[in-house]
Structure 1
Amino acid sequence: MEHFDKLDLDILRLIVEEPRAGVREYARRLNIARNTAQARITKLENSGVIVTWRPQINPAPLGYPVAAYVHVHIMQRQFDQTIARLETIPELIEANTVAGEGDLLCRFVARDNGHLEEVLRAVLETQGVVRIRSEIVLNRRLWPRVIPLIEKLRPHA
């Protein structure tokens, strides 16, 4: 594990809060050289802390207001092939291997409940899928966040 100091955490917080501000603005706000800010950002990228610069998208305004978490049980020795097949379902927006209920915990979106049923049927018909168990999201109360983790690390930096 790489060591991250206060400056790394300050830059990370700015990136999370205002990803479009840019390196020059981060440097100005932190009163550091632009090259220093760029070097620290590169360090955060190379260490795997920053994994993407893509925006976080809310699928609801795009016509996909229904979300469900689906536990997917996969045939033994069919894992990679089954995931590759599941990736062809556009409504699959996240998949994580898990210990516990099922082998994968996936997040799907849909236009409405009828469409969700079609999506779940497509998952069940995917070669390698043994069974599924779904949970419909009623309302997202908290978007993915990291600022509390950054703040918790501050005293140790």
Structure 2
Amino acid sequence: MTTFDKLDLDLLRIIVEDPKAGVREFSRRLNIARNTAQSRIRKLEDAGVLVSWRPQINLSPLGYTVMAFVHVHIAQNRVDETLERLAAIPELIEANTVSGEGDLLCRFVSRDNAHFETVLRAVLKTDGVLRARSEIVLNRHIWPRTIPIIEKVRNEL
């Protein structure tokens, strides 16, 4: 397991807060050499901490105003093949195997409730899916975040 110090975590926080700033700006803000910043970024990537530089997207302005979590029950030993089939549904934006209720917890988006019903029917028609239970998100109060955990880990050092 890779160990991280406060500099690694300070860099990670800056990357999360302002990923477009670039390595030069990261190094300036932390008062470190550009090569140091670059090697620390590589360390974070190699350790699997920093897995993507993709932006966080709000799909509502693109017309996808409904978000729902769907607990999907899958036929025994058919998770992988069923996931491949579910991935063909464009409105599926996240899928996780879980313990507890269902085998998968998926996040879907749709244009409206009628469109969500169409998406849910596509899920239920997917070979390998036994049943599903959905929960429509009324309002997203906290977006996916990592900075509180980064701060907690840093404070524990």
- Please indicate, yes or no, whether the TM-score normalized by the shorter chain is above 0.5: yes
Q: Which amino acid aligns with 2:25?
A: E
Aligned partner of 1:142 in structure 2 is 142
Letter in 2 for 1:62: L
Whether 1:54 aligns to 2:54 is: yes
SS in 1 for 2:20: coil
- Residue 22 of structure 2 corresponds to 22
SS at match of 2:117: helix
How many angstroms does 1:64 deviate by?
A: 0.2
- In 2: Cα distance, 1:126 partner to 1:154 partner: 44
Shift of 1:151: 0.8
**Alpha-carbon offset, residue 62 of structure 1:** 0.7
Shift of 1:156: 2.8
Q: CA deviation at 1:86?
A: 0.1
Count of residue pairs the alignment pairs up: 157
Map 1:1-157; keep pairs closer than 5 Å: 1-157=1-157
In 1: Cα distance, 2:146 partner to 2:69 partner? 21
Equivalent AA in structure 2 for residue 18 of structure 1: D
Task: Tell me, in whole angstroms, the C-alpha distance in 2 between the residues paired with 1:156 and 1:34.
Answer: 27
Identity of aligned residues (%): 71
State the Cα deviation string for residues 59-80 of structure 1 (Å, max 9, x = none): 1111000000000000012111
1:153 deviates by 1.1
Instruction: Give the secondary-structure state (helix, strand or coil) at the position aligned to 1:2.
Output: coil
Secondary structure of the residue that 2:134 maps to in structure 1?
strand
Output the amino acid matched with 1:120. L
Distance in 2 (CA, whole Å) between partners of 1:62 and 1:155 is 39
Stretches of structure 2 that go unaligned for 5 or more consecutive residues are none
- Aligned partners of 2:154 and 2:12: how far apart in 1? 12
| Matched residue SS, 2:51 | coil
- Paired with 2:131 and 2:147, the residues of 1 have a C-alpha distance of 37
Instruction: Output the amino acid matched with 2:108.
Output: F
Distance 2:155 2:149 in 1: 11
CA distance in 1, matches of 2:12, 2:141: 24
Q: TM-score, normalised by structure 2?
A: 0.98
Q: List structure 1 segments (4+ residues) > 2 angstroms apart after TM superposition.
A: none
The one-letter code of the counterpart of 2:116 is L
